[in-house]
Structure 1
């Protein structure tokens, strides 16, 4: 076995070739162009990674806000504008995309600001009356003055 590394056919062709100054200048320009394009590509990759990271963070925040609104409604929050009073920094997403800490945050808010949440018990035990659809009055059931008033109201639109 020889101590010399194996040589490619292209290497031996380059050893025998003599380059002129113009050839070297052209190769350097070509190499500089490749380096410039590589630097531009790396800058574009960094720009796209930053944009992707920003969109990912915005999507995470939107998911947390949506989950917080849903849990607030289930907890009986009267007005969702009150969510602006609650600091969601303790809420986070786990590696599976599940929102963690919403219930604890709302429980804490319910204890600190109970007026933001509907009361679970009412003082009235009576059931509300059943809903009835509005009934139209027939012209036969109206007095002549009521009929004229209803007719004028109808014609006005």
Structure 2
């Protein structure tokens, strides 16, 4: 009957037989409760470890993404500077790009390089020896490959006595085919 009083159950409602079984059941429930509490603590620590790993992974990902974006922006800035240097008549655009201060250049959301023209104009004023006196076409600056312009002149006269026999026969058949 002690067990009933421990549990707060009136003694007149509990029979002695039931009390013996209840002690075992209560003890078994306490053991199960302790196991469940231990499992909860283990699960909480596993969840905390997973959250810490997730935060670390997100931090690493964010850093790598920032590095990639910075490298991409720098490549775009360098390409824009080389292009603008060529347009301004730079003798060697790579040297011009290396010598200018690129710290003020930024790339906006649309991919437009802000300040490139100003930086190159300032470099052209400060280091005029890197540029032609006037910006010319690509053919003049040596940055574009093109065929030479046709030259006006007299057409070369045809002399049948100076060509080979095969060429003479071909020319003869072309002449006869026109008639």
TM-score (norm 2): 0.56
* Counterpart Cα distance in 2 of 1:105 and 1:92: 12
In the alignment, structure 1 residue 53 sits paired with structure 2 residue 62: no
In the alignment, structure 1 residue 85 sits paired with structure 2 residue 111: no
Is the CA contact 2:82–2:94 (under 8 Å) kept in the aligned structure 1?
no
Equivalent residue for 1:62, pick from 60, 70, 75: 75
In the alignment, structure 1 residue 37 sits paired with structure 2 residue 50: yes
* Counterpart Cα distance in 2 of 1:72 and 1:56: 24
Alignment of 1:56-135 (within 5 A): 56-82=69-95, 83-120=97-134
Query: In the superposition, relative to structure 1, how do residues 93 and 29 fare at CA in structure 2: closer, same or farther (>3 Å)?
Result: same
SS in 2 for 1:89: coil
Equivalent residue for 1:24, pick from 8, 25, 37: 37
Unmatched tracts of structure 2, length 5 or more: 1-28, 137-147, 152-161, 163-179
Unmatched tracts of structure 1, length 5 or more: 1-16, 123-128, 133-139, 141-157
TM-score (norm 1): 0.63
Alignment of 1:5-20 (within 5 A): 20=33
Q: What number of residue pairs does the alignment pair up?
A: 112
Query: In the superposition, relative to structure 1, how do residues 130 and 59 fare at CA in structure 2: closer, same or farther (>3 Å)?
Result: closer
Query: In the superposition, relative to structure 1, how do residues 121 and 108 fare at CA in structure 2: closer, same or farther (>3 Å)?
Result: closer
Query: In the superposition, relative to structure 1, how do residues 27 and 130 fare at CA in structure 2: closer, same or farther (>3 Å)?
Result: closer
Larger radius of gyration: 2
* Counterpart Cα distance in 2 of 1:100 and 1:25: 60
**How far does residue 44 in structure 1 lie from its aligned partner after superposition?**
0.5
1:5 — aligned with what? none
Is the CA contact 2:87–2:135 (under 8 Å) kept in the aligned structure 1?
no
